[in-house]
A = this chain, B = another copy of it.
């Protein structure tokens, strides 16, 4: 198993010794996920906290009419889970589906609680990570209010080229909260400007 990416991820938030990193990573298991496979569906209880080693996932909701709102994409070096469902063992509000053949490292609820007990420093690590997540979500919300659809599209493809290249326009639309048709029109407009 390759924990390098995960160790780098942890180290970005907090200084940890090699043995501390090894100790933490030792609690994670690996899993391959086929393209199209759901690792979590709305209503199920989220049994894992996952870290994407390769591939890509979409984290989304779908209403009765089946139209999807993609909350975020998780490619390499991102986390996949439903925090509320994992933490409180309640039904998940979100679906998590692999949009590519993927590999994840994951930790179960009991292993995570045990890790917190055995190594209180991990509380600090995840406290810091969660706080950074709050900041990121706040910023995205402000962007959504302050920017037009075209500006959000531009922001997305320039901020996350690695993801933008791998997902369909339909998925980009579901992420930005606009229609697929309008994404097409934005693309056309941008294209004609650049020539």
Chain B: CB-nearest residue to A135: B84
The answer on a CB contact under 8 Å between B145 and A83 is no
Interface residues of A, count at CB 8 A: 31
| Those of A111-140 within 8 Å (CB) of chain B | 116, 120, 123-124, 126-128, 130-135, 137-140
User: Which residue in B84, B134, B140, B146 is a CB contact (below 8 Å) of A83?
Assistant: B134
| Those of A63-95 within 8 Å (CB) of chain B | 63, 69, 71, 83-84, 87, 93
Cα separation A27 to B134 with both chains bound (whole Å): 24
The answer on a CB contact under 8 Å between A142 and B84 is no
The answer on a CB contact under 8 Å between B142 and A71 is yes
User: Which residue in B87, B130, B133, B142 is a CB contact (below 8 Å) of A61?
Assistant: B142
Q: Which residues of B contact A134 (CB under 8 A)?
A: 83, 130, 133-134, 137
Between-chain CB contacts (< 8 Å), 13 pairs: A69-B145, A69-B146, A71-B141, A120-B124, A123-B123, A123-B127, A126-B131, A130-B133, A130-B134, A133-B134, A134-B137, A140-B141, A141-B141
